[in-house]
Structure 1
Amino acid sequence: MLWIALHCPTLSLDWIERRFPAALIPAMAVTVRKGNQIYIQQANKPAQQQGVIAHQSLASALSLFPHLVVVEHDPNEEKKALREAAYAALRFTPSIVMQGSGLIAEVSASLKLFGGLKKLCQLLNRAVAAQGLQLCAGVAPAAGGAWLLARSASPQTVINGAGAKFRSLLDSLPVSLLESAQPHLEVIHGIGCKTLAELQQLPRGGIARRFGPDLLSELDRAYGDSPDPRKWLEVPEYFRQKMRLMAQVESAELLLVPVQRMIEQMCGWLASRHAAVSAFSFVLHHEYSLRQPHKSTPINIRLSGQSSDSRHLMILLRERLERTKIFAPVCELELAADEVTAGDDANLELFPTAQSESTSLNRFIEKLCSRLGPPAITGLKLVSDYRPECSQRFELLETDGMNGLRESPRETIPKELVRPAWLMDPPLELRVQRRQPVYGSPLKLIEGPERIEAGWWDDAGIARDYFIAENESGQLLWIYCEAVAAEKGKKEENKSWYLQGLFG
């Protein structure tokens, strides 16, 4: 097995900052209560520039910078932020464990699919960091060892212990990283043990009697010397995520970053269920006001085909969002997967299918619909009518989330009847020479007649005899003469001929 651990050293601050648009992040600090005193646990960079630092009393921090935004430490919100980041990581592996202030992922089955350990680690790190979290990463054959390596790493760095150097890397780590050693740190340091290697040199019986069995158990799990069962992250049956913003936003541009994060979470959830979405909805919730009738602004998107591609879904949502008028400041975002279907990955097909080949066209049409609006996109639709001029018409493109662009019935014209690719509108009256129609040269009738008599129901009836004709250059034409005139006794030489279409 191979594990990648992602530790978030500033999680208590990250979950707050990620709810602000980047341009509106103020100087802020997270506080923690110790007895009757309140201290600064973490401060962001704008606050640090004003002299606010960790372990400083709140009173001292406010005296340095009175406009400091203070937020109390909230473990529940931290856990929620980690879960949302875990959804984004599900695109790379379904085996994810939530561990304190970070995530641990088992990736041995994903190495070949994503191009090796280095590439996979980069992709996983990038996906979780895009959720607004600062990360340190560790790689090891044991989950506990990977977690200790990640906690000892510098911000935005990776410690790779996947090879033979794993045990030597763990040996150099400080004992203070072990959770079960926290109550006994003073005693352990007092006997000269500062690293895991020095702790392992002590008699195991003495360690168990003096510090309890948990310390040895955690140490063995970190080195992979004892089993370390983990509980995988469980995803809900339905996807619906909400994000409360810490600032009122009136510009669609400032919403793009949190929207991208929510799309990545939905695509990770879809990947974990081997599914794709054919329709999803995005809702902008507005701050309540007696003068503001708009409580929310919904944006419903239906795809012409199922998709779990975060880039494509983000393009569609961004186009619609930029065209949406924001009536009031936005205080909360909500994303839901409305229609979920079993996903098919075109990249895994040996030979391209008709559905995979039409994906690019469908996506292009979806982008145009999102940018210009559905009324701007029309398509040619077949109509159940034998009259050539009435057998098709332009209509707004209808989409079906299950089957792509909705197709018209194919049984309009029997398969044994041949029709030209190019129809004249209106039909062109042909010159007649020696009782033969002429188009460039006298035409030779090679097939027909085919009687088409229809339209009596809408007072536009026709009765025509159609022929396939050929001129001297080998061009095939679809021509007709009025059958009604022949029935009324009109002379053969006075019949009018019309060119209805040309064959390709």
Structure 2
Amino acid sequence: MLWIALHCPTLSLDWIERRFPATLIPAMAVTVRQGNQIYIQQANQPAQRRGVMARQPLASALSLFPDLILVEHDPNEETKALQEAAYAALRFTPYIVMQGSGLIAEVSGSLKLFGGLKKLCRLLNQAVAAQGLQLCVGIAPTATGAWLLARSAPLRTVVNGAGARLRLLLDSLPAGLLESAQPHLEAIRGIGCKTLADLQRLPRSGVARRFGPDLLIELDHAYGNSPDPQRWLEMPEYFQQKTALMAQVENVELLSVAVQRMIEQMCGWLALRYAAVLEFSFVLHHEYSPRQPHKSTPIKIRLSEQSDDPRHLMILLREWLGRTEIVAPVCELELTADKVTAGPDSNLELFPTSQSETTSLNRFIEKLSSRLGPQAITRLNVIPDHRPEYSQSCQPPGMNNLSCRKAIPLESTHPLTRPAWLRETPLELRVQRHQPVYGSPLKLIAGPERIEAGWWDDAPIARDYFIAENALGQLLWIYREQNPAAKNAGWYLQGLFG
């Protein structure tokens, strides 16, 4: 087995910073109470530039910068931020473990799919960091070993303990990294043990008697001397995520980072279930105001074919947001996967196939529809009816079988010649010397073809159709009523060829 641990040393600060647009992050700090005193646990970069530091009394910090924004340490919000990051990590492996202030992923089954350990580690690190977390990464054949290496790594660095290097790297780690050693740190340091190697050299019976069995168990788990079972993270049956914003946002561009994170989370959830989305909804929740009664702005996106590609889904949602008017400041975002199907059986094809070409065309149509609006894109649906007015209909892309007449192709031993362009309403033609005229007198070159139908739905026709040519060489499809004595017995233009 091979494990990648992602440790977030600034989690207590990251969960709040990630809810601000990058340009609106203020100077702020996280506070923690110790006895009767309140201390600064962590401070972000703007606060540090004003002299606010970790482990500083609150009174001292406020004396340096009175406008400092204070946030109380909230373990529940930290856990929620880690869960959202775990959604994004599921795109690379289904085996994720929540561990304190980070995640541990078992990736041995994903190495070949993502091009090896180095590339997989980079992709996984980028996906979780894109969720607004600052990471330290550790790699090891044991889960506990990877976690200890990640906790010892400097910010934004990777410590690779795969293979024979694990024991050497673990031996040099400080004993204070072990969670089971926290209650006994003074005693451990008092006997001269500074590293894990020092603890390993002590008699096991004496360590167990003095510090309890948990210390030896954690050491054995880290070095791989005993099994280290883990409990995989379980995800809900349905995907619905909400993200509260810490600033009132009135510009769509400021929402792009938060929207991208939510799309990545949904695609991770889809990857876990080997599924794809056909329809999803995105809701902008607005700040309440007596002058503005709008509580939310919903956006519902329907795809012509299933997709689990975050880039494609983000393009569609960005186009929709670009056409959406923000009627009031946005305070919360909500993303829901409304219709989910089994995922596509994608293959690594050497040459393009008809399926991949169809997918490209469908994605182009979806992007165009998102940019121009669904009413701007239609497709022709063939209807088995000989009457030209009823032989086709226009429908939105992806909306199949909306007509009461199903699109069943007509089978005929003699294929019929039909024009590519049909008029919505036939145009009555002038008649000159008993000849129909359209720009010039028309010459009949084929016909008649009799069409008599529609007696079943109170729209009967009885016509003789001809192919005619004018002086410019244009071919036209014209007809006249079968009964010459009828009131509308003139000539009519039905369509154009070419």
The TM-score normalised by the length of structure 1 is 0.86
**3-state SS of 2:132 partner:** coil
Amino acid at match of 1:51: G
Partner of 2:437: none
* Equivalent-residue separation in structure 2 for 1:188 and 1:307 (angstroms): 55
| Residue 253 (structure 2) pairs with residue 256 (structure 1) | no
Contact 2:91 2:271 in 1 (8 A): yes
1:377, CA displacement in angstroms?
1.6
Kindly indicate whether residue 451 of structure 2 is the aligned counterpart of residue 452 of structure 1: yes
Q: Relative to 1, partners in 2 of residues 1:90 and 1:481: Cα closer, same or farther, differing over 3 Å?
A: closer
**Deviation sequence 1:5-26 (CA, Å, 0-9, x none):** 0000000000000011111100
- Among candidates 406, 410, 413, match of residue 409 of structure 1: 406
Residues 479-502 of structure 1: per-residue CA shift (max 9 Å, x gap): 8886947999xxxxxxx9999776
| AA of the residue aligned to 1:454 | A
1:399 and 2:398 equivalent?
yes
User: Partner of 2:149 in structure 1?
Assistant: 149
**Distance in 1, Cα, partners of 2:411 & 2:126:** 56
Shift of 1:349: 6.7
Compute the displacement of 1:289 (Å).
2.2
Q: Which residue of 2 aligns with 1:244?
A: 244
**Matched residue SS, 1:193:** coil
Aligned-partner SS, 1:336: strand
- Residue 96 of structure 1 corresponds to 96
Superposed displacement of residue 404, structure 1: 11
Report whether the alignment pairs 1:54 with 2:54.
yes
Q: After superposition, give the CA deviation of every residue in 1:261-287 in whole Å (9 maximum; x if it has no partner).
A: 011001100110111111111111112
Consecutive unaligned residues in structure 2, runs of 5 or more: 431-442, 469-474
Q: Which amino acid aligns with 2:408?
A: E
One-letter code aligned to 1:332: E
Q: Alignment partner of 1:346: what SS?
A: coil
CA distance in 2, matches of 1:302, 1:164: 51
Indicate how the Cα distance of structure 1 residues 307 and 406 shifts in structure 2: closer, same or farther if over 3 A, else same. Answer: farther
Deviations 1:417-438 (A, max 9, x none): 3445645768999xxxxxxxxx
The amino acid across from 2:398 in the alignment is T
Distance 1:194 1:270 in 2: 46
Match of 2:214 in 1: 214
Distance (Å, rounded) in 1 between the aligned partners of 2:294 and 2:482: 64
What are the equivalent positions in structure 2 for 1:152-163 lying under 5 Å apart?
152-163=152-163
Deviations 1:126-149 (A, max 9, x none): 000000000000000000000000
Alignment pair present for 1:130 and 2:143: no
Q: Deviations over 1:443-494 (max 9, x none)?
A: 998xx98642235667773332679x9xxxxxxx998886947999xxxxxx
Deviation of 1:354 (Å): 5.1
Write the distance in 2 (CA, Å) between the matches of 1:404 and 1:272. 32
2:383 and 2:408 in contact (8 A); partners too: no
Aligned mates of 1:380, 1:461 — CA distance in 2: 23
- Equivalent residue number for residue 320 of structure 1: 320
| C-alpha spacing 1:152/1:397, structure 2 compared with 1 (3 Å) | same
Match of 1:85 in 2: 85
Cα shift readout 1:309-362 (whole Å, capped 9, x = no counterpart):
111111111111121111111111111111111111433579977554321111
Q: What is the match of residue 310 of structure 2?
A: 310
Change (3 A) 1:293 1:218: same
What secondary structure, in the 3-state scheme, does the structure 2 residue paired with 1:256 have?
helix
Tell me, yes or no, if the aligned pair for 2:450 and 2:462 is still in contact at 8 Å: no
> 2:408 is paired with a residue of what secondary structure?
coil
Task: Tell me the SS of whatever aligns to 2:302.
Answer: strand
Once the two structures are TM-superposed, the CA of residue 121 in structure 1 deviates from its matched residue by 0.3
Count of aligned positions: 479
Query: Matches of 2:421 and 2:291 in 1, distance apart?
Result: 58
Query: Residue 72 of structure 1 corresponds to which residue in structure 2?
Result: 72
Note the C-alpha offset of 1:408: 7.8
Per-residue CA deviation, residues 360-381 of structure 1 (Å, 9 max, x unaligned), is: 1111111111111112223223
TM-score by length of 2: 0.87
Q: How many angstroms does 1:100 deviate by?
A: 0.3
Deviations 1:58-82 (A, max 9, x none): 0000000000000000000000000
| Unaligned residue ranges in structure 1 (runs of 5+) | 430-441, 470-476, 489-495
Q: Residue 326 and residue 45 in structure 1: after superposition, are their counterparts in 2 closer, same or farther (change >3 A)? A: same
**Pairwise CA RMSD:** 3.4
Give the distance between the partners of 1:420 and 1:373, measured in 2 at CA. 31
Q: 8 Å contact 1:454–1:463 — kept in the other structure?
A: no
Partners of 1:398 and 1:405 within 8 A in 2:
no
Corresponding residue SS for 1:386? coil
